[in-house]
Chain A
Amino acid sequence: MLHVAGVSGLTIIDQLPMLTIVVPMLAAPLCVLFGNRHIAWLLAFLASVFSFLFATHMLLQVMDGDVLSYHMGGWEPPLGIEYRIDAANAFMLFLISGISTIVLPYARRSVAHEIKKVSHTLFYCCYLLCFTGLLGVVATGDAFNIFVFLEISSLSTYVLIAMGAERDRRALTSAYDYLILGTIGATFFVIGIGFLYMATGTLNLADLSVRMANMEGNRTIQAAFAFIIVGMGLKAAIYPLHLWLPGAYTYAPSVVTTFLAATATKAAIYVLMRFMFSVYQPDFVFELHTLTWIIMPLAILAIFAASLIAIFQTDLKRLLAYSSVAQIGYMMLGIGLASKSSLSATIVHLFNHGITKAVLFMVVGAYVMRAGSSFANNLNGLGKQLPWTSAAFVIGGLSLIGVPGTAGFISKWMLIQSVLEADLWWLAIMLVISSLLAVIYIWKTVEVLYLKEPDVSTLAMKEVPLSMLLPIWILAIACIYFGLNTEWTLSMADVAAEGLLNGGGK
């Protein structure tokens, strides 16, 4: 059922699709106006709590397959900009705002440790803009609006990454590389949208899919598909386009890495799914060929190559960054199979991997705070010095491997099921083998943490403050909870996958 917010006499419930995005957008300039780092943090936290509440409410509204439609400025779609919330984007909004709400209390101490005081206000301002951009990318139902929000989030991301330069100057070159690649990606995406507009005369995603339903042979549409996939693929760090990711994740401040790893690439993958399955009909021959012969092989390559590289890393942050590339491979594999079950596997993995990686990167941030760096040598025997933090790392690691009882198991299990559904038993075996690679790099880290003798300097280290420990543990418990109680995530992902395949509830 389609709920359209009217033109006048709107209640606050009708305004939710807009409020979710506008509240953090308003908070960002307020941060600068107040110019106080404590108020800036408070504003960021409050904005993200409000967004989270709004997103949760919308999620409950659309859980049964309903669609919320909000007309910006009162202009009717397809002419005006429409915010269109169905199960798929409500789920993504929930994930992004939820992660942000949990990361921000953690951010306070971590940012104070890694960034100098003068920059704190601007840090939270950029963080809010990045948050706004990601929410906007997910919520909007207008193709060009996606680009605008994408650039809002990207530009602020470059700044956030470059703020890591106080610890390591390589943050600057990483941010620069990301800027070049990210801009090329966004520009490719705009070219693709331009082709679509040329062929159909509309930018509204729902309207696009209606008008493109019988334009399969149109070469403009096909070229647009290629441009959009490559452009968004760069943002999502699909395997051969992932080169910006390890550097950016390694040298960015820990909070930024946590937030980006858990949300930014996920938003890009959501846009990919939206275009592949809602805007383009999934039964277009050229799309099926792309999925089978390009996306799938690259996904398998990503899983193995990136996991292998991860094994040989000495910096924990870089190790986890490469593991992120591998995990994106799993998601792309689900997209490549292009069935309803594989899509819901991808959506579940988006969520589960989001919380898992957030735990792991937050723990690494805690290590950076205590040990001064995330290099393996500095972490010897930290398991005894920081017992709670390290225990959370083990839980996150188990979830990353996909051990039964953790969130990571559920998504891998669903993926393997959908692979078997497609009669690709060899692929199922490869997926199991790939999990063993994850065992190697997680075990290497656990060995360093628990089995190595602590150094003299390590012995003096204390557990991180509660404001950091609590967020870590909330997510660590979530990793276990969503591994045991799967009803909610699975039904949610099912509805979301159905919504994607039905073109967003036309």
Chain B
Amino acid sequence: MNMEFILGHMNYWLFIILMMIGFYIVVARGNYIKKIVGLNVFQASVFMFYISIGKVEGGTAPIFPIDMNIDPQVIYSNPLPHVLILTAIVVGVATTSLGLALIVRIREEYGTIEEDDILEIDSAAQVSENRKEGASMGGRA
């Protein structure tokens, strides 16, 4: 594990650090919006990872000249990961907006977007339901 190994894999280190930060936010934060922010960081790390593996050393932007006069000497970067990530970004935007829309509705219904409060409200509701509605099945769960 020498210096060259560490520096040579810089994009992977950054990817891992960013991914773990995002994942930690999703798991550890109780606020629903912060969870979505964490999810975005988590996804962004994956985007970065894909784009960095598409880079070819010395490669240029993968656009052919308009007259299709392709010089075999020119090295192009791999465009495929970029295309894949364009799709993944769109999916990420859709997920984020759907998540936020759900938060708006949750806030309207519950009056809070803190996970702890909502869990408390929900489990209280479930306990009372089990008492009230579940007598014929033993009334416990």
A–B touch (CB < 8 A): the answer is yes
Q: Which residues of A contact B (CB under 8 A)?
A: 144, 147-148, 151, 155, 158-159, 162, 165, 169-170, 172-173, 175-176, 179-180, 183-184, 186-187, 190-191, 194, 197-198, 203, 312-315, 318, 373, 375-380, 444, 448, 452
In angstroms, how far is the closest chain A Cβ from the Cβ of B2? 18
Any A CB within 8 A of the CB of B53: yes
Query: B42 near A187 (CB under 8 angstroms)?
Result: yes
B contact face: mostly helix, strand, loop, or mixed: helix
11 extra A-B contacts, CB within 8 A, seeds A173-B110, A183-B39, A375-B134: A144-B87, A147-B88, A151-B95, A158-B102, A165-B105, A179-B98, A180-B26, A183-B95, A191-B46, A314-B134, A315-B129
Q: Which of these, A179, A191, A314, A448, contacts B129 with CB under 8 Å?
A: A314
Q: Which of these, B46, B53, B102, B106, contacts A190 with CB under 8 Å?
A: B46
A contact face: mostly helix, strand, loop, or mixed: helix
Query: A380 near B136 (CB under 8 angstroms)?
Result: yes
Counting contact residues on chain B (CB < 8 A from A), the size range is 35 or more
Query: A194 near B49 (CB under 8 angstroms)?
Result: yes
A-B contact pairs, 13 of them (CB 8 A): A173-B106, A173-B110, A173-B122, A176-B102, A179-B99, A179-B102, A197-B81, A314-B133, A314-B138, A315-B129, A376-B134, A377-B133, A377-B134
For A444, the chain B residues whose CB sits under 8 A away are: 137
Any A CB within 8 A of the CB of B77: no
For B35, the chain A residues whose CB sits under 8 A away are: 180
Query: B95 near A179 (CB under 8 angstroms)?
Result: yes
Query: A176 near B32 (CB under 8 angstroms)?
Result: yes
In angstroms, how far is the closest chain B Cβ from the Cβ of A393? 15
Query: B43 near A187 (CB under 8 angstroms)?
Result: yes
Q: Which residues of B contact A (CB under 8 A)?
A: 19, 23, 26, 32, 35, 39, 42-43, 46, 49-50, 53, 80-81, 84, 87-88, 91, 94-95, 98-99, 102-103, 105-106, 109-110, 118, 122, 125, 129-130, 132-141
In angstroms, how far is the closest chain B Cβ from the Cβ of A180? 6
Query: B106 near A191 (CB under 8 angstroms)?
Result: no
Q: Which of these, B32, B98, B136, contacts A377 with CB under 8 Å?
A: B136
Query: B133 near A148 (CB under 8 angstroms)?
Result: no
For B138, the chain A residues whose CB sits under 8 A away are: 312, 314
- Give A375 to B141 CA distance when docked, in angstroms: 12
For A159, the chain B residues whose CB sits under 8 A away are: 98
For A172, the chain B residues whose CB sits under 8 A away are: 102, 105-106, 109
In angstroms, how far is the closest chain A Cβ from the Cβ of B66? 22
- Give A318 to B16 CA distance when docked, in angstroms: 38
Given contacts A194-B46, A194-B53, A314-B141, contact A378 B105 (CB under 8 A): no
Query: A148 near B87 (CB under 8 angstroms)?
Result: yes
Q: Which of these, B43, B118, B136, B140, contacts A312 with CB under 8 Å?
A: B140
For A194, the chain B residues whose CB sits under 8 A away are: 46, 49-50, 53, 81
For A180, the chain B residues whose CB sits under 8 A away are: 26, 35, 39, 99
Given contacts A170-B122, A197-B53, A448-B136, contact A313 B102 (CB under 8 A): no
In angstroms, how far is the closest chain A Cβ from the Cβ of B119? 9
Query: B106 near A313 (CB under 8 angstroms)?
Result: no
- Give A452 to B135 CA distance when docked, in angstroms: 12
Query: A176 near B43 (CB under 8 angstroms)?
Result: no
Query: B122 near A375 (CB under 8 angstroms)?
Result: no
Query: A376 near B136 (CB under 8 angstroms)?
Result: yes
Q: Which residue of B lies closest to A448 (CB)?
A: B136
For B88, the chain A residues whose CB sits under 8 A away are: 147, 190
Q: Which residue of A lies closest to B42 (CB)?
A: A187
For A176, the chain B residues whose CB sits under 8 A away are: 32, 99, 102-103, 106
In angstroms, how far is the closest chain B Cβ from the Cβ of A205? 15
Query: A184 near B84 (CB under 8 angstroms)?
Result: no
Query: B91 near A151 (CB under 8 angstroms)?
Result: yes
- Give A106 to B137 CA distance when docked, in angstroms: 28
Q: Which residue of A lies closest to B97 (CB)?
A: A155
Query: B136 near A165 (CB under 8 angstroms)?
Result: no
Query: B95 near A375 (CB under 8 angstroms)?
Result: no
Query: B137 near A376 (CB under 8 angstroms)?
Result: yes
For A190, the chain B residues whose CB sits under 8 A away are: 46, 50, 88
In angstroms, how far is the closest chain A Cβ from the Cβ of B30? 12
- Give A158 to B42 CA distance when docked, in angstroms: 20
Query: B133 near A378 (CB under 8 angstroms)?
Result: yes
